[in-house]
Structure 1
Amino acid sequence: MNNSVNSHSMQDSSYTESAHVLLYTFGRFILTGLGMLVCLSTFWLNYRLVGAIDSVEYSLTEILQEFLLAVDAALFFLIARKNTKLKEVAVLAGCFTLCMLVRELDFFFDSIAVHLWKIIVVCIVIFAFHKTLRLAGLRRTLNSMKEIIFSDGFGAIFYGMLMVLILSRVMGMNQLWAFTGAERSEYYIYKRFVEESLELCGYYIYSSGVFSLFLNTLKQDNRA
């Protein structure tokens, strides 16, 4: 009798857990889809409001990209403080994200001094390697990298960066659009739309992975 009751309770627990997993996955699917729709619409909205795409550094798309990168860098450094297993890789990832933010703001830093953004990036890279490889050591850094690879948010972080660093760059190549036979003045707006929108989508997917990693860190903190 007891075995039968225990079996039913285990089945109920399994069904509840499966339902939670399905709801969680469906929720992430909906949120990611809505976020990508927002990313694709920002360039069009900015063009409709401003009526030009010359000042791309001050566009709504660029501002959202910079905002996401700033939040991601902050989350990575918070993860480094709270999660000892991910500390080294979180510092590296946070510094890498910070470098991308500085690169996105190159027009601002160049207005202060020519090539200032490059100097800042070099300083961030030196700090990152000093903080991890020199102080923590190669073995701890590699173990930390292994931990993040098997984490919940790594897939989104990985594919988000692929979209930013490869897909958006390839789709933004002038040679690719010149192949259509259209004049530069005609295809330029479409090229910018595709390139900037894909880049923003990539940053959004990357951010969803970072946020997921941060939430898991908070859960582990609460359990402890």
Structure 2
Amino acid sequence: MKLTNEDRFFIRQTIIEFFLYAIVATIPFLAIAVDLFYFDNIINEESVVEGLQDVFIIITIGLFSYNAKRFPQLRQGFVLMAGFFLCILIRESDNIFDRLTGHGSWFYFAITAAIICIGYALTNRQAAFDALVLFIKSREYAAFLGGLVIVFISSRLLGTGSIWKHILQEGYVITAKHIVEEGSELFGYAIMCISVWTFNRKLTTSLKLEK
């Protein structure tokens, strides 16, 4: 069977994506190594690991926001997606809000951001729905969903303190728990970011083909 140009493009894209995700897989390990061996810290809220988490979240917000600007007919949906990650960023930055405005204040900022973004999405429900469906139907959504599960479920379960206390017993140190939990979160955020970037790239390609 003769390969078409579309087939070649698909194969090339698949190879590129493999190397992208392979690079992403090394990021948590490298960040943890830098924290432990270079900065000699315990993977706290001011660590390289948590800093990179914020970086990937911010990039993801930027990617969805860029789509909101590019596609007015889908703007409400992409704003909603960006708002979701904005709330995550606020939660991940709780230590900053605690210092600036008091303990637990991040919650009120996150709720405010959520209300604003949801309210805006409701101004055009069809646009919000269309954008969500477009993303969910994309090939990249599976990877995005995997990253989401890693962040909100796997990392929490893997970071269960009682498990690590049982495994390490008298040798238990909280750093072990932090390494697994925060490293998993970083991996999940990185996967979601790359999947959204790939999604955006394909949207751009499809626009060029339409022109």
- Is the pair's TM-score, using the shorter chain for normalization, greater than 0.5? yes
TM-score between the two structures when normalised by the length of structure 2:
0.90
The alpha-carbon deviation at position 161 of structure 1 amounts to: 0.8
Kept after mapping to 2: 8 A contact 1:79/1:90: yes
Instruction: Confirm whether residue 143 of structure 1 aligns to residue 130 of structure 2.
Output: yes
Kept after mapping to 2: 8 A contact 1:44/1:193: no
SS at match of 1:43: helix
Q: Match for residue 102 of structure 1?
A: 90
The alpha-carbon deviation at position 176 of structure 1 amounts to: 2.1
Kept after mapping to 2: 8 A contact 1:40/1:201: no
1:212 to 198, 201, 210: 198
Rounded Cα–Cα distance in structure 1 between residues aligned with 2:45 and 2:150: 20
1:173 to 136, 149, 160: 160
1:157 to 136, 144, 154: 144
Unaligned runs of 5+ in 2: none
Kept after mapping to 1: 8 A contact 2:165/2:172: no
Rounded Cα–Cα distance in structure 1 between residues aligned with 2:138 and 2:73: 11
Q: Match for residue 24 of structure 2?
A: 35
Q: Match for residue 202 of structure 1?
A: 188
Larger Rg: 1
TM-aligned CA distance change 1:83 to 1:216, over 3 Å: farther
The alpha-carbon deviation at position 41 of structure 1 amounts to: 2.1
TM-score between the two structures when normalised by the length of structure 1:
0.85
The alpha-carbon deviation at position 104 of structure 1 amounts to: 1.0
Instruction: Confirm whether residue 73 of structure 1 aligns to residue 51 of structure 2.
Output: no
Instruction: Confirm whether residue 23 of structure 1 aligns to residue 12 of structure 2.
Output: yes
Rounded Cα–Cα distance in structure 2 between residues aligned with 1:67 and 1:217: 23
Q: Match for residue 92 of structure 1?
A: 80
Rounded Cα–Cα distance in structure 2 between residues aligned with 1:99 and 1:158: 17
Amino acid at match of 1:120: F
The CA deviation string for residues 138-165 of structure 1, in whole angstroms up to 9 with x for no partner, is x443333222111232122211111111
Instruction: Confirm whether residue 45 of structure 1 aligns to residue 34 of structure 2.
Output: yes
Kept after mapping to 1: 8 A contact 2:78/2:128: no
Number of residues of Structure 1 aligned to a counterpart in Structure 2: 209
The CA deviation string for residues 44-68 of structure 1, in whole angstroms up to 9 with x for no partner, is 2211012231x61111111111111
TM-aligned CA distance change 1:65 to 1:116, over 3 Å: same
RMSD between aligned alpha carbons? 1.9
**Any runs of at least 4 consecutive aligned residues in structure 1 with deviations exceeding 6 A, and if so which?**
none
Q: Match for residue 120 of structure 1?
A: 109
Kept after mapping to 2: 8 A contact 1:157/1:206: yes
TM-aligned CA distance change 1:196 to 1:145, over 3 Å: same
Q: Which 10-residue stretch deviates more, 79-88 or 210-219?
A: 79-88
Q: Match for residue 6 of structure 1?
A: none
Kept after mapping to 2: 8 A contact 1:57/1:107: yes
Identity %: 23
2:169 to 182, 186, 189: 182
Unaligned runs of 5+ in 1: 1-10
TM-aligned CA distance change 1:87 to 1:220, over 3 Å: farther
